[in-house]
């Protein structure tokens, strides 16, 4: 049926699909048959985010999906309590799906609508830890994974510090941290970049000590050397070292990044497009960071729709550094069994930017049914004896 002249496309439904291990996809359906996909999820809180998305239904149904900024502002400003992980994750996934619709409507990739290509390939970084391993593991095991990543072509890698670490710990602990990094550096050589994530598990005092000892091994960056709530503590730690400091995955919206950027607490900003407000909000954050010559390395421990959104951002910002990639053995995070054409990490550790409309991917909905499950309410996370939280 042809629309009357001047009549706009309308959103008619939202459908959420829970996918193991911990993802949730959103499909926004329009009356013109154009559908958009997003990934509105907070790790371990997918049912809670689903409820938040459903609360936006009355605001979205019947609206023109092309009015992305208008709808974003209505979702964000329409509640008394703004920001936060749940609300912003819901908004982020919705925003991704709206951009996917807009790109399909105008027959162009999202990056074209955000300024066009700065690059057509994106440098990826893989993780150096056993999949699903929350605690300690040997240096020998890490070096085996390092060899696998080198074979896969990665030129950037990252691993997480092994907790627990006391607020003021021993020389032995410092030596163990440094020995692990030194072993990886020796294995990869000087032409491969290695980053380390402290995950906010280290006190400011111990971070200063650890960073000093790690400097000779030239980390690409140290991520979250302290918890993100106190920017001044991060400024102090950052000022103590020549190692670039990275943070941002636990911040939400441009307002959440303002102090981090204005105080120049980091060299690398890490917005998570599933949590920070979506693609365009991350683009705004990248512009804020550009003023201070900071690089962008988007956080992404999630699924292939999240990755697709990240790649659209990576393609069009001038201050891109590297893109996080979980590196699941079954390739599901690249879209195997989910996308009709999964992403492929090429022999030099890069992914080519898709040139299709919207997110540039096509979801295989029949295959998706095989992975669908009911989702978990508030899945518990593993805790170490000192109260620090395990990696997923």
Residue 275 appears among annotated catalytic residues: no
CA distance 65 to 50: 19
Residue positions counted in the chain: 392
> What are the angstrom distances between the C-alpha of 66 and each of 23, 226, 328?
26, 40, 34
Q: Counting Cβ atoms within 10 Å, is residue 179 exposed (0-12), middle (13-18) or buried (19+)?
A: exposed
Catalytic residue chosen out of the listed positions 18, 275, 299, 325:
299
Helix (H) or strand (E) holding 212: helix 204-214
* Residue 223 · residue 247 · CB < 8 Å: yes
Token duo for residue 198: 């402290």
CA distance 316 to 213: 36
Residue 19 bridge partners (DSSP) = 23, 372
* Residue 130 · residue 117 · CB < 8 Å: no
* Residue 221 · residue 251 · CB < 8 Å: no
> What are the angstrom distances between the C-alpha of 58 and each of 13, 24, 33?
10, 21, 20
DSSP 216: G
Catalytic residue chosen out of the listed positions 18, 127, 199, 275:
199
Please identify every residue annotated as catalytic.
199, 299
């Amino acid at each position: 049926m042809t629309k009357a002249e001047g009549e706009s496309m309308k959103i008619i439904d939202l459908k959420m699909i829970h996918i193991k291990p911990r993802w949730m996809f959103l499909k926004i359906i329009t009356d013109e048959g154009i559908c958009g996909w997003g990934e509105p999820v907070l790790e371990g809180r997918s049912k809670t985010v689903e409820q938040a998305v459903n609360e936006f239904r009355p605001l979205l149904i019947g609206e023109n999906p092309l009015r992305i900024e208008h709808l974003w502002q209505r979702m964000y400003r329409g509640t008394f309590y703004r920001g936060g992980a749940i609300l912003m994750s819901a908004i982020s996934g919705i925003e991704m799906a709206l951009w996917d619709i807009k790109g399909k409507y105008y027959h162009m990739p999202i990056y074209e609508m955000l300024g066009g290509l700065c690059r057509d390939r994106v440098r990826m970084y893989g993780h150096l830890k056993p999949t699903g391993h929350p605690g300690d593991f040997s240096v020998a095991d890490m070096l085996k994974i390092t060899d696998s990543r080198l074979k896969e072509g990665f030129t950037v890698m990252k691993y997480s510090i092994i907790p627990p670490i006391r607020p003021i710990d021993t020389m032995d602990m410092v030596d163990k941290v440094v020995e692990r990094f030194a072993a990886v550096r020796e294995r990869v050589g000087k032409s491969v970049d290695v980053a380390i994530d402290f995950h906010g598990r280290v006190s400011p005092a111990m971070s200063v000590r650890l960073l000093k000892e790690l400097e000779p091994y030239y980390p690409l960056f140290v991520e979250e050397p302290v918890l993100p709530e106190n920017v001044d503590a991060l400024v102090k730690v950052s000022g103590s070292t020549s190692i670039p400091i990275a943070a941002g995955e636990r911040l939400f919206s441009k307002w959440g990044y303002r102090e981090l950027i204005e105080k120049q607490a980091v060299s690398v900003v890490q917005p998570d497009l599933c949590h920070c407000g979506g693609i365009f909000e991350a683009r705004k954050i990248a512009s804020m960071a550009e003023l201070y010559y900071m690089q962008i390395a988007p956080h992404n421990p999630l699924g292939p729709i999240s990755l697709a959104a990240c790649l659209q951002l990576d393609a069009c910002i001038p201050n891109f550094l590297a893109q996080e990639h979980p590196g699941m053995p079954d390739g599901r995070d690249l879209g195997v069994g989910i996308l009709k054409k999964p992403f492929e990490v090429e022999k030099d550790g890069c992914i080519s930017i898709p040139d299709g409309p919207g997110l540039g991917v096509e979801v295989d909905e029949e295959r998706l049914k095989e992975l669908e499950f009911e989702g978990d309410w508030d899945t518990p996370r593993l805790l170490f004896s000192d109260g620090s939280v395990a990696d997923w």
